[in-house]
Amino acid sequence: MITYSRDMLIGQWYRTEYDENGCQISEYAHISPDGSFEFTFVSQNAKGEVAEQIIELGDWGLVGDIHFTMTKSEFVDEQHYAADLADEQNYHAYKVLELTGQVFRYQHIVTQEIYQLKRIAEQAGNC
């Protein structure tokens, strides 16, 4: 088993993909050193208009090559909802496939879906 440093995950990450209808889905992840996270999911329609935005808040961890999350609350259309902590859909575990300074690639333990996030630079470079 490969062991990854927890510190490698701390920071801001993103991914963008398109669904079967050509609609863009983006995820922005802010992973904090205190074990908390904020994930923002933005879905756009084919015209590029925001169709839905969901913000999830919760806790995360990394042990060996297993990354896990627990969603505690979410904002949907600016309404705040507490997550049902008895609902198994608020808990996820992933096998880390790659974790570098720029790329985080992981696979959901149950669904086998693979995701890849890219790191967002902390500061813009000087031109």
pLDDT tens-digit readout, 82-117: 999 999 999 999 999 999 999 999 999 999 999 999
Residue 1 clears pLDDT 90, i.e. is over it: no
The model carries a pTM of 0.89
DSSP states of 5-24 as a string? -GGGG-EEEEEEEE-TTS-E
Asked whether residue 35 carries a pLDDT value surpassing 80, the answer given is yes
What tokens were used for 6? 């927890």
Domain count, the chain: 1
CATH number of the domain enclosing 48? 2.40.128.280
**124 band by pLDDT with thresholds 50, 70 and 90:** low
What's the pLDDT tens digit per position in 45-54? 888 899 999 9
Residue 94: burial class (beta carbons within 10 Å; 0-12, 13-18, 19+): buried
Residue 125 lies in a domain: no
Domain span at residue 15 reads 6-119
Assess if residue 61 is contained within a domain: yes
Question: Does residue 70 form part of some domain?
Answer: yes
Residue ranges of the alpha helices (H) in 7-99? Answer: none
Q: pLDDT at residue 59 above 80?
A: yes
50 domain residue, yes or no: yes
What residues have CB less than 8 Å from 16, skipping those under 6 apart?
Answer: 24, 25, 26, 27
Q: Residue 97: its pLDDT value, please?
A: 98
Mean pLDDT, rounded, of the chain: 94
Q: Is the pLDDT of residue 43 over 70?
A: yes
Q: Note whether residue 67 is domain-resident.
A: yes
